[in-house]
Amino acid sequence: MDSSTDDSITSNEDVTPRMTESFDSYSQQDVISDVNKDSQYVIQNTMYHYDNSMISYNGEQHEQEISIYDSEQYSKKHRYEMDTSHDSIYEHQNKRKKLNNGEVFDTNISSGEKYIEENEVIDNAEVYANESKVPQKIQRMMKKMGYKPGKGLGKDDQGRVEPIEAVKQRGRRGLGHYVPGLKEASLKWDPAEEEIKVVEDIKWLQNIHSVAPFTEDMNLLHWIKYGPKKHTIDDETMFCNPNILSQIIDSKTIFDRLDKAEMRKARTRSNPYETIRCVNFLNRAAVKMANIDRACDFMFTNPKNVDPNELLYFADVCAGPGGFSEYILSKKKWHAKGFGFTLKNENDFSLDDFFAGPCETFHPFYGSKDNGNVFDAQNQREFRSIVMGHTDGKGVHFMMSDGGFSVEGQENIQEILSKQLYLCQCLVALMIVRPSGHFVTKLFDLFTPFSVGLIYLMYHCFESISIFKPNTSRPANSERYLICKWKKKDTQIVMDYLSHINCLLSRRDDSNDVIEIVPLDVLEEDAEFLRYLRNSNDTLGKKQIINLLKIAAFCEDPTLIEPKQAEMRKECLKYWDLPDRTRIRPQISKPQDKAQEILGDSIGLLKCEATKLKNDNVRNTILNQPYDWYCMPCCSGPYLEEDKLATFYLSLGRKQVYRYVKGKWRTAADKGIKIELPSNTLVYAELVNESKWTGTYFAKTRALHIIDAYMLGGEDVSKLYLSQRSNLTKKFCDALWKPAPNDYTCIRAKERFLLTPDIHRRLRITDQRVKLSSNIAFELTKNPLERDMTINTTEYREMNLQEPVQEPVYSAFNSVIFIRSIVKPWARHLSQKANEFYVFNVSTRQSEFEVRNKLNNRPPDAVASFAQAFKERVIWSWPHDTNDTLNMNTLVQMINQTLPPRST
């Protein structure tokens, strides 16, 4: 969705509104195009003026320093030098000074009377000024004929005073079309009042209160104030300067009669950050999130309190088509797992358009009603259940929300119409964000007691808040973002209170609406909070007014352009750490070409056969150095069809998954496998039949078990140690795990065990309880993500109760695969003295403990890469190999004879 299709001069950024219904069914993020959206950090600047083929500066000479970047690296100074050889903007400023009314322009003009009256002064002044240029002889002749300066000709001075001007067409306006107040507004614009910079000032309000103004035994319902629903906002001056509010409303009213295309073009030319657009993302929302993330020192994509081995969990609410999520995934790739909650159909997430990041680890949610309505209390509870189930009951690390809906014709009261949306986004955040997590949400004006009360409640639920307007938010609208940092633990009271208010608002009782949720006297007691809020409203309001006047000037003069657009694009993208490139759809590759690209010289691995473990080669293979090997139970066996054996799986993105069978790449969908993998994924895996106990019966399903990984979502892991590859594979599978119910094939990482004398106990074999492809089954430990979602583990923990035992998952067991982890001439040994593993090089006699001070100390050249491990893999067809004397008892006996006893 391109912002060029947006007709509203003060619109919310990206798209033409896709719905014009009431606010009962809102659309999200880029679905808004309205007149009452943002106020922006504006620009210190002068305008270029085109004069034929020459570009020149006009007006007085100005000089200004603009901080492009903070710190030493970004201390560049930019100065504006203005050429006074041309007089276009000079005339603009000169006329502005000659207006009688020196205050903000008056928009209460019902006709052109004031326009004519004010310009008479200007025109008469020009007549007097030019009179001295008329030859004296002509002046005397005109005086004899009865001419009086400043008067018309004729007996009663009824003649025309001002010269007849040529009619000028403005853009697509009709000839002579007059827009009341537009010219006056354009003459009020002063370039010297604007400011431009890359690094924005973000001011935080610290929550210094050790005790919240509400307790568990306090009934917050007494705080609610009811009254008739408001339909005006011009009297909401308690939290802002009354003059600023009046000027904002008046300024926006001017554009009601102006052609939307003309306004859009003027807005595009006047905004210094306009050409940044969406870069390589699906819309401008992604760039806004990048802007916010950088302003907050990357606390969303690089949080300080997240373990590097842990997935980064996030939620994106009211945010279709998903620009926010695409940005996060572009930074974290598959190491982040997202949960989406938005309206379905035309406002849905556009996952196929996630070119910058993998959409496979992002999971949309619509609720049991399948509508994605965030106002619905049942949807809210179900969404919380899904999130808690996938995050071990902890919640997401942060939540983003960017909701909005069309308010065409009611732009000035958008804040009033959006208050339930404000509330529900904050409510969901309190429901799913973990303690010490973060929250960012889009808001518009903050003038009413309802909105201010909501901000106040969120202020007490987090350690710090900030009301911030990024550069990427268009300066002439009222959009801003509430950023909440470090969520507190005890927020249940506020969450329940907001949930109750949401139920009241859902009644749609206009005669008995909720107009206050925090009493004014409670707000007044917190002077620091009110000071911060009023200062924010006044600051953003002033900047919005300046930019509305600027757009009016650009409407009046189509030759004006913003000269800093190209530079701002370059400098901002560099500061935000975004690539300066256009959006291009990824090329479609053939699986054989992609495999060649990934494997390179190792392409021969596709045809590499495994060594079969027999009684006569066991001592030369796995028993040569038993601690060098890991083993895994497998479903593949000698009596299965070739297309069911372990093989390579390659993904080109989403459902374009291929498996290597009989020398060719075949789509996995041909075998009825419904699976999604991020592009540039190459793994060695097998398709397994599983059985799960549902409580009443065993349900049989199929799953993809990854044995080893070469590349995961474009990340080359082939040179890592086997345990690292295995841990990353498990993390990869957790990120891909789909919320239930779904019909996708489950993806698991194979359990692996070090080859030790207790291998017979580690391979958890059970008698057949269900009909699988073998007579015995292997007991898999159930992934925490597939626990019974009806069991509230959070409640069990809070009550110090033991959680119910989860029934294991059973898979067919036909063989054991052994994979080398240490490469020759290195070998792993167990220190009898320290009882720790170390590696020893038989050639150099060098030895190193694998772990020192809890850090990896293993020499890199001792690590067996994927290629080395895969080439030397060994398959043991136990327990079904009846043609050989090697059985489990024999193998355990041989291991005990080879290895020294381990001290305890």
Strand order from edge to edge, sheet including 433-443: 205-206, 462-468, 480-487, 433-443, 396-401, 312-317, 336-341, 362-365
* Whether the Cβ atoms of residue 496 and residue 216 lie closer than 8 Å to each other: no
- The CA distance from 150 to 139, in Å, is 13
Hey, what amino acid is at 147? Y
Nearest Cα residue to 435 out of 407, 465, 463, 473: 463
Tokens of 634: 């497998």
* Whether the Cβ atoms of residue 706 and residue 733 lie closer than 8 Å to each other: yes
- The catalytic residue among 183, 197, 252, 442 is 442
Q: Look at strands 664-667 and 776-780 and give their pairing.
A: unpaired
* 750 is an active site residue: no
Helices (H) and strands (E) in the chain, counts: 22, 35
Hey, what amino acid is at 77? K
- The CA distance from 689 to 544, in Å, is 62
- The catalytic residue among 7, 14, 293, 402 is 402
715-731 in b/e form (b: 16+ CB < 10 A) is bebbebbbbebbebbbb
Give the list of residues 6+ apart from residue 185 with CB closer than 8 angstroms, or none.
105, 107, 251, 254, 548, 549, 552, 553
* Whether the Cβ atoms of residue 287 and residue 472 lie closer than 8 Å to each other: yes
Alpha-carbon dihedral 386, 390, 392, 393, rounded to 10 degrees: -20
Around Cβ 17, how many Cβ atoms within 10 Å? Answer: 21
CA-based Rg of the chain, rounded to a whole angstrom?
35
Tell the burial category of 497 from Cβ atoms under 10 Å away from its Cβ (0-12, 13-18, 19+): buried
CA angle at 335 for the pair 333 and 337, rounded to the nearest 5°: 95
* 87 is an active site residue: no
DSSP 315: E
- The CA distance from 708 to 752, in Å, is 10
In sequence order, the β-bridge partners of residue 467 are: 482
- The CA distance from 44 to 825, in Å, is 68
- The CA distance from 720 to 858, in Å, is 11
* 260 is an active site residue: no
- The CA distance from 636 to 647, in Å, is 10
Across 457-532, the runs of DSSP E, i.e. the strands, are 462-468, 480-487, 513-516
Q: What is the residue whose two structure tokens read 């279709």? A: 320
The CB-based long-range contact list for 294-297 (8 Å cut-off, 24+ gap) reads 294/575, 294/576, 294/577, 295/200, 295/202, 295/468, 295/470, 296/202, 296/483, 296/485
- The catalytic residue among 37, 197, 288, 337 is 288
Task: Name the residues annotated as catalytic.
Answer: 288, 402, 442
